[in-house]
Structures are given as structure tokens and as C-alpha cells.
Structure 1
């Protein structure tokens, strides 16, 4: 659980979502740019009103993510070192970390001028393993008015 002023995010459940179809394990080398530029995590968040019970929404999102991972199977892999010590992408369908969370914060109180303090690791999770982590946060409808 993290907090920042009025921002409190509580994790309800952690899962791993793999591609809906099997993937033959193989390695993809990194490009020269990947090897030159330090690793970068793209971090975004979207806010929606809760229109279904959260467990139904989570199941729909997990099923959709599993289907999306079929053509985008490298996202379900992990970065590992090859025999030369260079990073490569192991396409092994390890899966994407999927976090279901909830908050009772007010969106207007988010300090988007200082996202490292108000958003980072709270609304957008820290990636522990793999290539991609998804966190779904449900916000009470009454707060979004």
C-alpha cells in the first residue's frame, strides 16, 4: 500500500496473465539502440468510472490482455543475459504481472506537476519482473463527479 497526501492505493490481488495461445520459446536479440540506451520503462495510467463490479471488469481486462499478448508475445517474455552477458528478450510466455487495486482518492488532488511524488509507484506500479506490468485501479464513481 502506498500513500501521498490524500492518495492511498490498496492492492487487492496480484496475478500473472500469459498469452491466450501457446508460444514457442525463443530468443530475440536486442538492437544496437537497445544496447546503447539505458533501459527505459514507459509508464502511463488511465482513469475510468467503475461501471461494472470490479471483479467483472478485472476478468474482462485479463481475458483481453491474454488475447492481445498472442500477436504481441514478446511483451509476455523477460529480458535475460545471453552467454556474452548482453541482454536479450526471452520469449517464453512468462506472462505480464497484473495488479488489481483500489483507491478512494480524488483525481483533482493529484499533483501532476510532480508525478514522481504523486503518481509514480502508486498509480503506476514498479515493474519487478518481465517486460510489462499492468495495474488496474478502481475509483469510486462518486469521486469522479
Structure 2
């Protein structure tokens, strides 16, 4: 199961995480190099060892939710310094893209997948990771998904 991306993923929660501190909205023009190159989304997939728990231990879900809460809080703190990631791309009056730093926030997905890490085809991530474990960015500059893989680990 999962070797060709044939596992199911259920998004349990979706919210927007903004910077902890308010900020004054402003525009950042893109560099000439940014304007020449085609837009590129980068997907990153990390795995972390499952917290130690006994078989049938219901506290494992609580540990996962606690980890999600810590990640959201850390993201909100990080966006204070890296405020551009909490913005969105817009077009200026000349029709060129520029970054609106408005603290729109980062889309944050919490999900569960019925696949073990060993069953993912990481040699061809387009089949098993892209679009499921690494979400497609809908709005904003950045999106994050935390997924609990059953029963083996947590991915970010």
C-alpha cells in the first residue's frame, strides 16, 4: 500500500497562522532576477520519529496535537522576523508582481494519512508525496502541512 500514492489523506484542520505581532503593511518590489525567472514553488518533506507510546495508547494523538500546537506558535514567532513569508504576491500598476507584506499569514494544514513511511516511494516523490504530503500553495507565499502517518511517524 502507498507505493504508488494510493493512500488516503484526511485534512483535519486548516487555518491561517499570522505573525504574533502586528505590522504595518507595505510593498516589496521583486528584483530583476525574480522578474526574469519563472515562479517556482519549493516543496519540502521532513520526517520525525514517532513519540514513544505503548500499543493502543490514546495519548499518542494528544502528543501529535501538542506538537502541532508548538509548531504553530513557533511559526507565528518566526513570521515576526521573516514577515515577507506572511505576505502575498500581487500585481502593481505596471502589471508586474510584487510582494505585499500585509501579515496575511501562512496556510497551515493538519492532516492524517493511512500510510507508513516505508511504503512511500521517495524515489519518485511526485507519485507519493507531492499533492498529498506536500500541499499545493493556494494563496500567500508559503504553506505548511503537518501530517501524522499511521502508524510510523510525523511528517512536516
- TM-score by length of structure 1 reads 0.90
Instruction: Give the aligned partner of residue 143 of structure 1.
Output: 152
Please list, as runs of the form range in 1=range in 2, the aligned pairs for 1:69-88 lying within 5 A after superposition: 69-88=79-98
CA contact (8 A) 1:76 1:95 kept: yes
RMSD: 1.5
CA contact (8 A) 1:49 1:139 kept: no
Of stretches 66-75 and 48-57 in structure 1, the one that deviates more from structure 2 is: 48-57
- TM-score by length of structure 2 reads 0.84
Please list, as runs of the form range in 1=range in 2, the aligned pairs for 1:83-94 lying within 5 A after superposition: 83-94=93-104
- Deviation string 1:27-73 (CA, Å, 9 cap, x unpaired) is 00000111011100111011123436222111111100000000000
CA contact (8 A) 1:101 1:135 kept: yes
- Deviation string 1:69-112 (CA, Å, 9 cap, x unpaired) is 00000000000000000000000000000000011211111112
Instruction: Write the distance in 2 (CA, Å) between the matches of 1:20 and 1:121.
Output: 29
Instruction: Give the aligned partner of residue 12 of structure 1.
Output: 12
For structure 2, the 5+ residue unaligned runs are 52-59
1:64 to 74, 78, 92: 74
Per-residue deviation, 1:8: 2.0
For structure 1, the 5+ residue unaligned runs are none
